[in-house]
Every structure is written in C-alpha cells, then in structure tokens.
Amino acid sequence: MIRLENLCKTYYVQGEEKVVADNINTVFPTGLSVALLGRNGAGKSSLLRMIAGTMNQSSGEIISDGTISWPVGFAGSFHGELTGAQNTRFIARVYGVDTDELVAFAEDFAELGKHFHLPFRTYSSGMRSRLAFGVSMGIRFDTYLVDEVTSVGDAAFQKKSSQVFRERLRDSGAIVVSHSMALLRNLCEVGAVLEDGNLVYYEDLEAAIQHHLRNMEFRTGS
C-alpha cells in the first residue's frame, strides 16, 4: 500500500509557478498495477520520484508499508565516475541483496558488453536506462515505479524487458507511466489520471483511459 496524504508539490519554471500536486489524497493498493495517466508536463515523472523518495514534496506525506523501487529507467542516482559494475555493487549493498547475483543479472540483462566495466559517464542515455532497468529488475520490490522503460532499446530488448517485468508483477504491484494505451491495458488493472495537480483514481482502468483521452482532446481543441 502507498498512501498519499495531503500531498503538495510546487516549483517554478522560468518564473512561472508549476503545480504538480495540489493536496492529493490517494491510496495505491498493494499488489495492483496502476496506470498513471496525464498529458506531457502534467507531473507524472515528478510524482513517481516523490513516491520513490528521490524528490521532496512541498508538504504532505507519502506512507508505504512495503519496498518501492526508484523510477525504473531513471539513472540519476548512478555515479558517473564508477563503472556500471561498480554502481551495481553499490546499489546491491544499499538494498541488502547479494552483490554477485545482482551484478551477474544486470550484466546479462543490460547487454552492455565491455561498457559494463567502463565509467557510467561514458554511457549513452539508452545505455544508462538499460542498466537502470536491469539493476531494478534484479531486486525484488513490493512496488515497481516504471516511466516509459519498455521503449528503451531495440525490439528484442523491449520484448525481453516486457517479459521480465510481467514476471515481477506476478508477486508485486507497479505504478506505470506510458504513452502507449495498449501497453497500459496489457500491464495494468487500475488507473489514475493526473491533471492540474489533481489525481483521480479509478478501479476501472478503461474509465481512467477515457478520462485521459478526453483531457487530451480538450487540450488539443483549446
């Protein structure tokens, strides 16, 4: 369970106020996969990072009774001077998992070849995302936070990513951000729509998708 209590987040972009969360009160139930929907710039990635603890909220609380991944595919916490292998070992120690097992899994999964043993700062954005995805899939979390991760890599890598992620969802929940309605329908059971700092939770995924599509049509037509 992840509970958002009176959650607020405001920051400024080029002097203009940007409201990501306006007193949000929502519960994401244990073991369910939630599609997090919203237009570009609505703050979906920021909300994921607040839930992960990598971004501070302005006020309010985020309460969980289980383990939560960092946003899968987000590699902002990796150290640029360390190699992929060294970063993986460090994360294994932080989360208390077997170091050698996580390194072996991440190296095999990310398919970085010799780059796995080169400094992280030399990686392309795609390589960084692949390593971050591989490391996160190698650790068992109660809830995975996913931000467009299956779009990384070629078709074969995307297929492998989707397969491994579905295997994890047999025992875990997730909050998934994607522009692909087909992917969300395939992975998720419920949905939530973020718009203008407000979050509306739906037990019916299709109702959430239709709400999101109406928002998109309204924005396009305005």
Place of tokens 């899968």: 72
Distance of CA 93 to the CA centre of its chain: 21
What is the tens place of the pLDDT at every residue in 48-71? 999 999 899 999 999 999 999 988
- The C-alpha angle 118, 79, 153, rounded to 5 degrees, equals 60
pLDDT band at 222 (very low <50, low <70, confident <90, very high): very low
Residue 77 phi, psi (nearest 5): -90, 0
Q: Any idea where the domains of the chain sit in the sequence? A: 1-67+172-222
Tell me what the pLDDT averaged over the chain comes to: 91
User: Is the model's pLDDT at 108 over the cut of 90?
Assistant: yes
Residue 35 phi, psi (nearest 5): -85, 120
pLDDT recorded at residue 151: 57
What is the tens place of the pLDDT at every residue in 121-148? 999 988 988 898 899 899 999 999 988 7
Helix axes 84-95, 99-110, angle to 10 degrees: 140
Q: How far is the C-alpha of 129 from the C-alpha of 145, rounded, in Å?
A: 14
User: Is the model's pLDDT at 74 over the cut of 80?
Assistant: no
Place of tokens 């995302």: 129
Which of 20-58 are b and which e, b meaning 16 or more Cβ less than 10 Å from the residue's Cβ?
bbeebeeebeeebbbbbbbbeebbbbbbbbbbbeebebe
Residue 71 phi, psi (nearest 5): -60, 115
Q: How far is the C-alpha of 210 from the C-alpha of 148, rounded, in Å?
A: 20
- Of 34-43, 85-94, 179-188, the one with minimum mean pLDDT is 179-188
- The C-alpha angle 58, 53, 115, rounded to 5 degrees, equals 135
Helix (H, G, I), strand (E, B) or coil at 57: coil
Helix (H, G, I), strand (E, B) or coil at 58: coil
What is the tens place of the pLDDT at every residue in 164-212? 888 999 999 999 998 889 889 988 999 999 999 999 999 999 999 999 9
Higher pLDDT, 8 or 13: 8
pLDDT band at 32 (very low <50, low <70, confident <90, very high): very high
pLDDT recorded at residue 72: 77
For 170, residues 6+ apart whose C-beta sits below 8 A from its C-beta are none
pLDDT recorded at residue 28: 96
pLDDT recorded at residue 80: 94
Specify the CATH architecture of the domain 1-67+172-222.
3-Layer(aba) Sandwich (3.40)
pLDDT recorded at residue 156: 81
User: Is the model's pLDDT at 153 over the cut of 70?
Assistant: no
pLDDT recorded at residue 217: 86
The DSSP bridge pattern shows strands 33-37 and 190-195 to be parallel
